[in-house]
Amino acid sequence: MIDRLRRRRYLLAYELWLDLYGTRRGQRRELTRALRANLDDAAAREGTAAALRGLGPARRLASDEAAALRDRRRPAWAVGSAAAGMTAIALLLVGLLSTVAFIDGVNARSGGGSASGGLTLLPFSEVSVDRANGGLAVGLSGQPLPYLALLLVVFLVASRSWRVLRAARSRPTEDR
């Protein structure tokens, strides 16, 4: 039972690293299928633990396999998506923390009333806070286009999208 779990964990890690190194889904499935068959053969001969030790870390094995298959002309769309997603999460976190700090500043001053102002860490945005009748109303407004443009630039740079143009230019033209 434990050997099956170790085998499964190794295969999952191997497939994850292949994915992160940009291996296409079909190639990834074929490589994982071949590794599974080889691992089963080796485990029958010498045991699962010894077979896994003989393979070494899943990351290194996946890196070697991916390097052999890698098409340097192909963009890494998954990497670009992940980078843009992490950037979006970071922007949201900065916006949340800045808004909370602004609200704390309004609450720290004496008396009720309302206040509004821009956020230093997020240009093109504005927070308004209204304290009245024992309640608190908060509004966040701003221009989303600069942030969408930033996410697009991060996506294009991280995915190395210019490779599409290089691949298109390097294709041989057919004679008519």
Secondary structure of residue 65 in the 3-state scheme: helix
pLDDT in tens, 15-61: 888 888 878 888 889 999 999 999 999 888 998 888 888 888 989 99
The sign of the dihedral angle between the CA atoms of 120, 122, 124, 130 is negative
Q: Residue for token digits 């068959």?
A: 37
Domain ranges for the chain, please list them. Answer: 2-69, 77-158
Give pTM, 2 decimals. Answer: 0.59
pLDDT score at 85? 95
Q: Residue 87 to residues 41, 58, 94, 100, 136: CA-CA distances in angstroms? A: 44, 28, 10, 20, 30
Given a cut of 80, whether residue 152 has pLDDT beyond it is: yes
List pLDDT tens digits, range 76-135: 777 889 999 999 999 999 999 999 988 888 888 766 678 888 888 888 889 998 887 778
- CA distance linking residue 118 with residue 172, whole number of Å: 54
